Structure 1
Amino acid sequence: MTIAFDPIDLSGTRLANRIAMAPMTRSRAFGPGLTPTDSTVEYYAQRASAGLIVTEGIQPSVIGQGYPDTPGLHSAEQVAAWRRVTDAVHANGGRIFAQIMHAGRIGHPALWPDQELLSVAPSAVAPQGQLYTHEGPKDFLTPRELTGAEVRATIGDFASAARNAIEAGFDGVELHGANGYLIHQFLTAGTNRRTDEWGGPVENRIRFAAEVTKAVAAEIGASRTGLRLSPGNAHNDMAETDTEATYLALVEQLEPLGLGYLHITENVPGLRDVTLALRKQFSGTFVLNPSTEGFTDHGALPLIEDGTADILAFGALFLANPDLPARLKTAGPYNTPDTATFFGGDDKGYIDYPTLAG
């Protein structure tokens, strides 16, 4: 019987176990030009006992940034800074993928050097709600609809960022197609009201996600490319009406590529049937961030044993427990995450969580 602590071959990359650190925005890219700092290096190195680390979302372009103090991978300065992170993780025996995240309509001019810019999206549909900025909460604005040429250029930004990730020493990249950001915005009819090749029926709405994935796979190799999806997720004012059909169509199109993995995050309880359908559709390594995850929950481990997933990804539990695989093996004890320090701030709640060794 396969268990979570067994090694796994991820398309040629050996992982020491089947426990992944899920991507989590921390808003601490305080270095020049939105670069990782010494504390970022320490944060990821502390968690190198994960079979796989997936970084926080990293924007592929200036306009892709959606939150304050999030890092990029679109400048030489950023590539050099991330190299320090990957070197530290590898020195501690870990493997690390960069998550490439374009926020799309989730953003604000207050975040960017040129405050005349507007966020971009498949269609000019404003999300409800507000965004935190250094100037305080700001109402979301109506984004600018991407032209056809700009859609193609944005696909190129993803591919360029993936190439930069490999130059920075990452073992691969994960494309963020979840949680209401740009790729997800193209997938969903409520945010994608286009009438060209990128919108309308399911086969058009999945085109952007498919083309981004194909472009990145062509740039760095399919075996080093993963994709994260969140079927049914309403985060960032999203609303899906044809969830299963959309995601099955997308995965069917991507299946021949031989991707490194497919990563499903179950943000919505009650959609395990969709997860299982995608698991059946995808023949490669299947990563699951399960809806059963809690701050002190190791009850998800049987999902490896029964074949629901090949790898389990944990978020807040890994944030607060740098040595999470060891703690899962003994069913705890677990540190409790300090939610007040999730975003921004200093090293408190970032690199000061104790390990079992003290």
Structure 2
Amino acid sequence: MKKLFEKAQLKSLDLQNRVVMAPMTRARTSQPGNIPNDMMATYYQQRATAGLIISEATQISDDSQGYSFTPGVYTDEQVKGWQPVTKAAHEQGAAMFCQLWHVGRVSHPTFQKGELPIAPSALAPIETKVWISDDQGNGNMVDCIQPREMDQSDIDRVIKDFAYSAKRAIEAGFDGVEIHGGNGYLIDQFLRTNSNKRTDNYGGTRENRIRFLIEVVDAVIAAIGADKVGVRLAPFITFKDMNCPDIVPTILEASRQLQARDIAYMHLSEADWDDAPVIPESFRIELREIFTNTIIVAGSYTQERANEVLNKGYADLVAFGRPFVSNPDLVSRLENNYDLADLDGATLFGGDERGYIDYPAMQIAEAVE
């Protein structure tokens, strides 16, 4: 019987519990250069009683950005900025992976030096916006536009960018990287029939639509080793105009190929809104039969639901997102059945320490009260 608070193993890493801090964009980097800073180190250190922290989504190149103030991990300044962050997390006992992303068509020329964003096909995502801010943090949500279809040189370059940023992430002190293959971003765009209309080796059949993901994974494995690689996938999430009727069997086929490469883990991003689709138990059973390495699940899990999915064997680690924002001591609160503090949604993206590192731990909150 697995329990949320017992120790766990992730390849060669010893985890102090099965709680994962999910990747959450908070847009607090220093400018110019999207550089991690001391405030971010404090933020992650406060939450490092988790067994594993997965960083906020992190750019692999200049053209992979889609939102203001999100960090990168490909310049010397960014790597130097991340080093105190990973050190702070490790000092509290947490392992830490860097989530690597390329947003693809979920971007704007503002982030592309005036050029069009790139994507598998020249299709704009319907009702999809990105956050663009000035240097003072005053921003607006702006519609995405029609991207440019990637040619082979674009594909080759992005694959190299993933591998290069993975090496830089290890230099920055991360224990590994998570390749973001879900939530409507570039790799997910290749996987789905409604966003991928290509007629070459990267489109059409499941094998072809999976090809880009696998080539990215293989390049990153060659750079840092399979034991340091995780992949995030989102088979049941359809926002950002990503409703593909073939995505579930496509994800299952991709899972076979990922298991064959013996990567560290697969991270399932599950829908977390009120009327979200329920993941069929049949899918969880089939995925577990295919992928026998570590599975992480994320999506509005309570402690009860977390222990249930662990004990059924469908997952090995459970990730928590929003509760970690307003509860830096989330592990303790869950373990002791303490009430959880509510978050301030107005301070989620951008800004200063307010709504970021000023949420008190339980004992401080009680003393104030």
TM superposition score normalised by structure 2: 0.92
Contact 2:37–2:82, Cα closer than 8 Å, also in 1: no
- Residue equivalent to 1:301: 306
Map residues 113-152 of structure 1 onto 2, 5 A cutoff.
114=113, 116-129=114-127, 130-134=129-133, 136-152=140-156
3-state SS in 1 of match to 2:23: coil
3-state SS in 2 of match to 1:36: coil
- Residue equivalent to 1:6: 6
CA distance in 2, matches of 1:188, 1:166: 31
Map residues 20-31 of structure 1 onto 2, 5 A cutoff.
20-31=20-31
1:269 paired with 2:277, answer: yes
Map residues 183-332 of structure 1 onto 2, 5 A cutoff.
183-267=187-271, 268-273=276-281, 274-290=283-299, 292-293=300-301, 297-302=302-307, 303-332=309-338
Contact 2:191–2:247, Cα closer than 8 Å, also in 1: no
Deviation at residue 184 of structure 1 after TM alignment: 0.2
Contact 2:295–2:315, Cα closer than 8 Å, also in 1: yes
CA distance in 2, matches of 1:300, 1:44: 25
Deviation at residue 223 of structure 1 after TM alignment: 0.6
3-state SS in 2 of match to 1:287: strand
Map residues 17-56 of structure 1 onto 2, 5 A cutoff.
17-56=17-56
In the alignment, residue 335 of structure 2 is paired with which amino acid? K
3-state SS in 2 of match to 1:301: helix
In the alignment, residue 340 of structure 1 is paired with which amino acid? A
Map residues 37-186 of structure 1 onto 2, 5 A cutoff.
37-112=37-112, 114=113, 116-129=114-127, 130-134=129-133, 136-186=140-190
In the alignment, residue 17 of structure 2 is paired with which amino acid? N
Change (3 A) 1:340 1:276: farther
Contact 2:21–2:52, Cα closer than 8 Å, also in 1: yes
In the alignment, residue 80 of structure 2 is paired with which amino acid? A
CA distance in 2, matches of 1:337, 1:276: 34
Contact 1:61–1:157, Cα closer than 8 Å, also in 2: yes
Deviations, residues 44-92 of structure 1 (Å, cap 9, x unaligned):
0111100000000001011100101100111111111001111111122
In the alignment, residue 291 of structure 2 is paired with which amino acid? F
- Residue equivalent to 1:349: 355
CA distance in 1, matches of 2:270, 2:140: 31
In the alignment, residue 289 of structure 1 is paired with which amino acid? A
Which 10-residue stretch deviates more, 212-221 or 124-133? Answer: 124-133
Deviation at residue 31 of structure 1 after TM alignment: 4.0
1:337 paired with 2:343, answer: yes
CA distance in 1, matches of 2:17, 2:130: 37
3-state SS in 2 of match to 1:262: strand
Contact 1:247–1:278, Cα closer than 8 Å, also in 2: no
Which 10-residue stretch deviates more, 268-277 or 22-31? Answer: 268-277
In the alignment, residue 171 of structure 2 is paired with which amino acid? E
Change (3 A) 1:192 1:120: same
Contact 1:67–1:133, Cα closer than 8 Å, also in 2: yes
CA distance in 2, matches of 1:222, 1:184: 21
Contact 1:231–1:243, Cα closer than 8 Å, also in 2: yes
In the alignment, residue 87 of structure 1 is paired with which amino acid? K
CA distance in 1, matches of 2:166, 2:142: 31
CA distance in 2, matches of 1:98, 1:177: 14
In the alignment, residue 260 of structure 1 is paired with which amino acid? A
Deviation at residue 29 of structure 1 after TM alignment: 1.1
TM superposition score normalised by structure 1: 0.95
3-state SS in 2 of match to 1:9: strand
Contact 2:296–2:315, Cα closer than 8 Å, also in 1: yes
CA distance in 2, matches of 1:202, 1:92: 43
Deviations, residues 124-176 of structure 1 (Å, cap 9, x unaligned):
00012332212633221110111012101111100001000000000000011
Contact 2:193–2:244, Cα closer than 8 Å, also in 1: yes
Contact 1:264–1:289, Cα closer than 8 Å, also in 2: yes
Contact 2:108–2:130, Cα closer than 8 Å, also in 1: yes
Deviations, residues 287-343 of structure 1 (Å, cap 9, x unaligned):
1114x43xxx33323222232210000000111111111111112211111111111
In the alignment, residue 151 of structure 2 is paired with which amino acid? T
Deviation at residue 94 of structure 1 after TM alignment: 1.6
3-state SS in 2 of match to 1:138: strand
Contact 1:20–1:53, Cα closer than 8 Å, also in 2: yes
Equivalent pairs counted in the alignment come to 352
Q: Tell me, which stretches of 5 or more residues in structure 1 are unaligned?
A: none
